[in-house]
Chain A
Amino acid sequence: MERAALSGWGRTSPSVATLVTPLNEADVANELASSPAVIARGLGRSYGDAAQLGGGLVIDNRDLGGISPIDDGGVVTVGAGVSVDELLTFAIPQGWFVPVTPGTRQVTIGGAVAADVHGKNHHVDGSFGAHVTEMRLVTPSGPFTISPTQDADLFWATVGGMGLTGVLTTVTLKMLRIETDQVLVDTERFADLDGVMSAMASGDEAYRYSVAWVDCMTRGKRMGRSILTRGDHATKGDVETPTLKGPRPPRLSVPFDAPSGLLNPLSIKVFNELWFRSAPRHQLGEAQSLSTFFHPLDGVRDWNRLYGRRGFVQYQFCVPGSAGETVVDAITRLSSSRVPSFLAVLKRFGAGTPGPLSFPMPGWTLALDLPVGPAKLPGVLDDLDEMVLSAGGRIYFAKDARLSPQKVRAMYPRLDEFLEAKNRVDPEHKMVSDLARRLHLVGE
């Protein structure tokens, strides 16, 4: 047991909590019984305050490990503290890949369920929760085995429930068969936003994976210039020497905090320019390793330190497919306000899961990294919230560090459904986090 200052990946608003590292389900149950306020934490890749709890008890899930053999149908049971990195290291050599991966391998499976993470294949395969067949959840009322058919309300409240229903100990999921560790990638550059959005709307269905990088700092005619990359797993016939190698550990790291002003409008503009120019105008069928395609930032350990002591926020919203205009309006607002933002990620979502707090809905999602500092940034993001809300969209809790609680109910109209399931196993609202307090997710 130790007191530890914890923050999210954006390194804003740290708080101090008691940190414990239980080894098994019985330990978790004991910890839950010992404290009035508890939240689980994985690898701390939520950007805001989702996995911290000032003055409370934080359960680090790193020792809830273990990976079962993968059966012929691809079904595997893993400890909630196993990372996507560990699972891939184990699974790729056997010809299996995770059904959904976020932009980093450094998330735990428990965290992936809690945030119901999505990847570049959301338009085809949905989010992480859609591939989970069973979970073991320790709640303040005891442990439950939950699945889409057993205690389904609790299962779906846990998928995307930000850890507020209990502590996951194991997760059973269905993996994806792969023949090689390569992805065949098509890359296209677009001079503006309309071009890339219509290409995505019309052509994404032909690819399993699709994502666009958008420059939010160019104005005028080139506003929203983009690089669209789409791909599919390479089959044995697609590459000369098919291999199945696991991910490599990062070779670079950021050893100390950069000065807070390093990432300023000028340096970010230069970066965006180089990034845009380094992409081929049009290239088909380039073979890339799984790591290069899915987890480019994992090559640099602790890259969040580049933002300096003040840290950064990530803003991610989704809107229904009919509200593509909102994406354009949001990028226009950002580029005209001149707040610096790194290349934004634009992606189309397919169908969501039944989770009442799950983020994805069919339509568009845009995510941007914004250094904390510019005085107008809080106001600009509040304006974007209004735009997103009036388009029927919402903000992603796993990324959020600044949303106002008044907007949560309108963005997540099924909050009461979530609370009903939570109240059944956690009537005293023991499971809580700084995020839940800030957004009044479990009452004011």
Chain B
Amino acid sequence: MENAFGQPQNVVVLGGSSDIAGAIMKKLCAARVHTVVLAGRNQERLDAAAAEAREYGATKTDTVLFDAQDPANAARTVSESFEKVGDNVDLVIVAVGLLGDQLAYENDPVLATRMIMVNFTWPAAALAELRRRLVAQGSGRILVITSVAAVRVRRSVYLYGAAKAGLDRLCQGLADSLEGTGVTLQILRPGQVRSKMTTGSADIPFTTGVNEVAENVVRGLASSERVIWSPPILRYVFFVLRHLPAPIWRKVMDR
């Protein structure tokens, strides 16, 4: 069970080799985590993440393989992960995502579809199954990683941004639908984070490391706020950016 500070004991991570999820798990394992099930597409990376979770204090770890390009496997992936936990699940982190190379995708219908599948359709399918299971359990928490790119989609990553925007909005409605069920959904909107997903990207203002994101998440879980911004100041930065006239927005973002 989760404790009064939002520290979980049993955790499922969908997108288990995500660097952000890994950094969050380090902190949660050091606090109260007992069992972790990591689901992802690369067994080697999952094993490494599981070993790290044990090193930081988890007693029991397991892994589940799936490919997020096929939303048909989402329900099975969730079921298998819950069965491997074998107890109430306190927290599910949805960290599935693909940034990719916008220039390669934007003129290719097949690749464009794949971006939407991985970043939106698969997570949406998984969330439906998560909702069903957690509501029956009467408790639990879902943390969905979207992005500040979802707040206002920018030219250089608009496919990724659009998919994340879809997921972010879906989560807003889902969170409302969970009121009174004992289940809570929180959205993590990080800015640019130094990780393998962003290797090669130049640091833009407010770029953070994964550890800082994890710190913001741990605080966010304790406070139960709907949207966790990382770094927190982006809440205000994007309030301004969101309202900029389009020509200025493009100028700012294309720099």
Contact = CB atoms under 8 A, between A and B. Distances in A.
A309 B5 CA distance: 13
Interface in B148-169: none
A436 B5 CA distance: 17
A54 B3 contact: no
Interface in A372-387: 372-373, 375, 377-378
Interface residues of A, number: 35
B182 A54 contact: yes
Interface string A7-39: 000101111110000000000000000000000
Contacts of B183: 16
A54 B87 CA distance: 12
Nearest to A381: B5
A381 B140 CA distance: 23
B139 A15 contact: yes
A54 B138 contact: yes
A373 B31 CA distance: 16
Given A5-B182, A54-B138, A378-B31, A401 B4 contact: yes
Nearest to A378: B5
Contacts of B3: 12-13, 401-403, 438
A377 B222 CA distance: 11
Given A5-B182, A372-B222, A373-B223, A13 B137 contact: no
B222 A13 contact: no
Contact of A377 (B1, B5, B138): B5
A49 interface: yes
A444 B34 CA distance: 10
A437 B88 CA distance: 9
B219 A375 contact: yes
Contact of B138 (A16, A260, A378, A401): A16
A56 interface: yes
A402 B181 contact: no
Interface string A394-435: 000000011111000000000000000000000000000011
B182 A378 contact: no
Contact of B182 (A14, A435, A437): A14
B180 A438 contact: no
Nearest to A55: B138
A363 interface: no
Contact of A10 (B2, B4, B136, B218): B4
B4 A16 contact: no
Given A54-B182, A310-B223, A15 B4 contact: no
A313 B3 CA distance: 10
B224 A54 contact: no
A438 B9 CA distance: 8
B121 interface: no
Contact of A434 (B1, B87, B135, B218): B1
A372 B138 contact: no
A434 B31 CA distance: 18
Given A54-B139, A313-B4, A402-B7, A16 B223 contact: no
A434 B32 CA distance: 15
Contact of A16 (B2, B34, B139, B222): B139
A15 B139 CA distance: 5
Interface string A40-63: 000000001100011110000000
A1 to B, nearest CB: 14
A401 B136 CA distance: 23
A15 B138 contact: yes
A311 interface: yes
A310 B224 contact: yes
A16 B5 contact: no
Contacts of B223: 260, 310, 373
B185 to A, nearest CB: 15
Contacts of B182: 5, 14-16, 54
A437 B1 contact: yes
Contacts of B7: 378, 402
A311 B88 contact: no
Interface of A: 3, 5, 10, 12-17, 48-49, 53-56, 260, 309-311, 313, 372-373, 375, 377-378, 401-405, 434-435, 437-438, 444
28 contacts: A3-B138, A5-B181, A12-B5, A13-B4, A15-B182, A16-B135, A16-B180, A16-B181, A54-B88, A54-B137, A54-B139, A55-B137, A55-B138, A311-B4, A372-B4, A372-B222, A373-B222, A375-B218, A378-B31, A378-B222, A402-B5, A402-B7, A405-B34, A435-B1, A437-B1, A437-B87, A438-B9, A444-B34
